[in-house]
Chains A and B, each alone.
Chain A
Amino acid sequence: DTGVSQDPRHKITKRGQNVTFRCDPISEHNRLYWYRQTLGQGPEFLTYFQNEAQLEKSRLLSDRFSAERPKGSFSTLEIQRTEQGDSAMYLCASSLAGQISYEQYFGPGTRLTVT
């Protein structure tokens, strides 16, 4: 399977704990995106990378959130001091810059539950 993969698929954590998610994009894709999705809503943009550079961050990305893509391949999203409001599906997507269609291919998501 050469699609976008995310790990873990599910994470349950206690409030105040730190969590880290990983995303492996499609290998030749140089753009990588993180989204958050709550029940009954569409995905909300968090941040995106082109290669290793983080080019844009949403206002939704508070100081407790940090994302990295150190070598321009996989990416991690860390949430520090988790709050119950952080419970959501965290989606990763990747695309190839330069394509006129700019299709973003989504991973299966990481479901976070903060208790």
Chain B
Amino acid sequence: KNQVEQSPQSLIILEGKNCTLQCNYTVSPFSNLRWYKQDTGRGPVSLTIMTFSENTKSNGRYTATLDADTKQSSLHITASQLSDSASYICVVRSYYGNNRLAFGKGNQVVVIP
């Protein structure tokens, strides 16, 4: 079973609308959680990073939340733009494992005009 589960697998939203992506993880002990944006045919680019003590982190129109007790994170996209069309990958790092990261499968977001 994957240690990082994301939902929904894919969604289509109208330009200008908001959306929220979910990430549930079982990685333990927890070190940090990142959300990456991956455009088609490109490598992932980090959007936010949160450690155990952080509940929310913003990067422009992207706002990530973390509940370390329930092991859940969300990424909220405000006022979506066409350029937000991408896969959003939740990545969790444990303290152990030689810097090994656990990747979710990604949320595929398509923004339509």
Interface residues of A in 8-53 (CB under 8 A from B): 31, 40-45, 48
How far apart are the CA atoms of A102 and B108 in the complex, in Å? 25
Q: Is the CB of A42 within 8 A of B43?
A: no
The answer to whether residues A106 and B101 also contact, given A42-B106, A101-B32 and a CB cut-off of 8 A, is no
Write out the residue numbers on chain B whose beta carbons fall within 8 Å of the beta carbon of A97.
Answer: 99
Q: Chain A: which residue is nearest B49 at the CB level?
A: A101
> A41-B105, A44-B103, A102-B93 known; 14 other A-B pairs, CB under 8 Å?
A31-B99, A40-B106, A41-B106, A42-B103, A42-B105, A48-B98, A48-B99, A95-B99, A97-B99, A101-B32, A102-B32, A104-B101, A109-B41, A109-B43
Residues of B at the A interface (CB closer than 8 Å) are: 4, 9, 32, 34, 36, 41-46, 49, 89, 91, 93, 98-101, 103-106, 108
